Chain A
Amino acid sequence: MTKTIVKVEDLSKQYGGQDVLKGISLTVNEGETVVIIGPSGTGKSTLLRCINLLTKADRGRIWLDDQEITTPDVDEDEVRSHIGMVFQDFLLFNHLTALGNVMVGLTKVLGMPRDEAESKAMEELARVGLGDNAEQYPGQLSGGQKQRVAIARALAMDPRVILFDEPTSALDPELIGEVLEVMGKLAHEGMTMLVVTHEMGFAREVADRIVFIEKGVVVEDGPPNDLFCRPRVERTREFLWKLTELYGKHEEEQADSD
């Protein structure tokens, strides 16, 4: 039987009188890559932030492994150290080198000795293909490199799951590929990932399941082939068509130029 890593049950969240999430339920199993798609403003980012407790949900429960993390007595900092997060705008620590960014969680959160943390951080940087950029500061890196450092920073903590919040949306088109490539590699290595993205190519090739969220509710949840080829809900087909039309274009262009 597969092990459930993240389980979300009936999650609701209001912002300024607006229902952003209206009873979302979702599970992510060990080693699975689940892609969340949906129009902007439908609470996808909010859902991720609720899962790692950066935002408090109004209602509903969340489990990480078999521990409920939405009880009042839970140590939120400890929970977050087991959940990696990659942000749309990278949010690297600007005063630290690439290596420093990946190390800081190890030394300051886990209390790992410096030399041990350094070799672990170097490993993670090599894993995202940035072994030669360890001494560079974020301001000296390209957007794609920054996002790969951010992924290494999340990886270093040996998280149970990594949440990706539109990791390629702030990137120039020619830099998207290197980030998606790293993410694809992680998926193959068996990392558990929950990814909010508009990259349909990635969703189709890498995702084990796609969850379509609109207006704060799960519209459809299933394997990519089912959603792309025989969606149960008309709205899913419509949305996927639109996205593929929009984003598929530059993927084709990229393929041509390769």
Chain B
Amino acid sequence: MSEWIVFFWSILPDLYKGALITVQLTLVGLGMGIVIGLPAALARVYGGKWVRRLAVGYIELFRGTPVLVQLFVVYFGFPDLGLTLSRLSAAYLALGLNSGSYQAEYFRGAIQAIGGGQMMAARAIGMSRLKAIRYIILPQALRLVIPPWSNEPIALMKASAVVFLIAVPDLMTKAKIIAAHTYNPIGTYMAVAVVYLILVFLLTAILHLVERHLRIPGLELEAQRK
């Protein structure tokens, strides 16, 4: 055990560099996912027939295929269409599109849970649909979505490990290199597992803080009151 700790300590600087890329991939993928997913959810709930179909098409396509396939299509397939992306850009795009499809469904659930009554009340004081969405529906839906949505950053961070297959120097890629150099795959992958675990813990802690900070007084879930 102490041997492994020494080993872990020695490879930590390299893992750290990889971890930074992993965090970067997670944050950018998540950000892109919000930018794509939220409009997709709104389109699915409030859109006309064709807008709604477009949103459903996007969501089902990207939830229904492996993220690895999406990554390969973006990185190896897009150049044939005249769009050559760097490894990192391809990784961002694939993860963002994939995450957006999942996030769209989290957002849709929350928007629908807020219900038509709030929209009706907002319209009744003269708000347009857009204003009602912006000032009444979303402020509530975005709070409500946090607990289920918290799955997404965690899932995305772990799923981002697939980018080692196009040699983006993330945590997993670093691990492969270190394992080959040190002839210690078990020690290395255990170390990587620990780093992922720490990152996920940090992420969870941040999400909890956000959730608590945004809580609406008097609207806590019943179970939390006790």
Interface residues of A (CB under 8 A from B): 52, 54, 77-78, 80-85, 87, 89, 91-95, 104-105, 108-109, 136-141, 153-154, 157
Interface of B is mostly: helix
Q: Do A77 and B127 form a contact, CB below 8 Å, given A54-B120, A87-B121, A89-B117? A: yes
Partner of A105, one of B127, B128, B143: B127
B136: chain A residues at CB < 8 Å are 93, 104
| B133 shortest CB reach to chain A, Å | 12
Q: What 10 A-B pairs have minimum CB-CB distances, sorted nearest first?
A: A139-B218, A81-B126, A91-B121, A140-B218, A105-B125, A85-B124, A139-B219, A109-B126, A137-B218, A80-B126
Partner of A153, one of B125, B131, B143, B218: B125
Q: Is B118 an interface residue (CB 8 A)?
A: yes
Q: Do A94 and B120 form a contact, CB below 8 Å, given A78-B126, A108-B131, A109-B126? A: no
- Structural contact, A77 and B126, CB atoms closer than 8 A: yes
Tell me the nearest residue of chain A to B135, going by C-beta. A108
Tell me the nearest residue of chain B to A55, going by C-beta. B120
- Structural contact, B123 and A140, CB atoms closer than 8 A: no
- Structural contact, B217 and A140, CB atoms closer than 8 A: yes
- Structural contact, B217 and A105, CB atoms closer than 8 A: no
Q: Do A95 and B126 form a contact, CB below 8 Å, given A108-B131, A139-B219, A140-B218? A: no
Tell me the nearest residue of chain B to A139, going by C-beta. B218
Alpha-carbon gap, A52 to B121, bound state (A)? 11
Alpha-carbon gap, A153 to B126, bound state (A)? 12
| B42 shortest CB reach to chain A, Å | 18
Alpha-carbon gap, A140 to B220, bound state (A)? 11
Query: Please, could you name 28 A-B residue pairs with CB atoms under 8 Å apart, sorted by A?
Result: A54-B123, A54-B124, A77-B126, A80-B123, A80-B125, A82-B126, A83-B124, A87-B117, A87-B120, A87-B121, A87-B124, A89-B117, A91-B117, A91-B120, A93-B118, A93-B136, A94-B140, A94-B219, A95-B139, A104-B125, A105-B125, A105-B127, A108-B135, A109-B127, A136-B217, A138-B219, A141-B218, A157-B125
Q: Is B216 an interface residue (CB 8 A)?
A: yes
Q: Is B88 an interface residue (CB 8 A)?
A: no
Alpha-carbon gap, A82 to B126, bound state (A)? 8
Query: Apart from A91-B120, A94-B118, A139-B216, what 10 extra A-B contacts exist at CB < 8 Å?
Result: A80-B123, A87-B120, A92-B121, A94-B216, A104-B135, A105-B125, A108-B127, A137-B216, A139-B219, A141-B218
- Structural contact, A95 and B143, CB atoms closer than 8 A: yes
Q: Do A52 and B124 form a contact, CB below 8 Å, given A91-B118, A108-B135? A: yes
A54: chain B residues at CB < 8 Å are 120, 123-124
| B140 shortest CB reach to chain A, Å | 5
| A144 shortest CB reach to chain B, Å | 16
| B124 shortest CB reach to chain A, Å | 4
- Structural contact, B121 and A93, CB atoms closer than 8 A: yes
Total interface residues on B, CB under 8 Å, equals 22
Inter-chain residue pair count (beta carbon < 8 A): 79
Q: Is B28 an interface residue (CB 8 A)?
A: no
Alpha-carbon gap, A156 to B121, bound state (A)? 14
Alpha-carbon gap, A153 to B117, bound state (A)? 15
- Structural contact, A77 and B128, CB atoms closer than 8 A: yes
| A123 shortest CB reach to chain B, Å | 17
| A86 shortest CB reach to chain B, Å | 9
Which has the most chain B C-beta neighbours within 10 Å: A81, A94, A95? A95
A78: chain B residues at CB < 8 Å are 126
Tell me the nearest residue of chain A to B141, going by C-beta. A95
B199: chain A residues at CB < 8 Å are none
Q: Is B179 an interface residue (CB 8 A)?
A: no
B128: chain A residues at CB < 8 Å are 77
Alpha-carbon gap, A240 to B125, bound state (A)? 33
Q: Is B36 an interface residue (CB 8 A)?
A: no
Interface string of B10-53 (1 = CB under 8 A from A): 00000000000000000000000000000000000000000000
A87: chain B residues at CB < 8 Å are 117, 120-121, 124
Alpha-carbon gap, A37 to B173, bound state (A)? 73
B166: chain A residues at CB < 8 Å are none
Alpha-carbon gap, A136 to B218, bound state (A)? 9
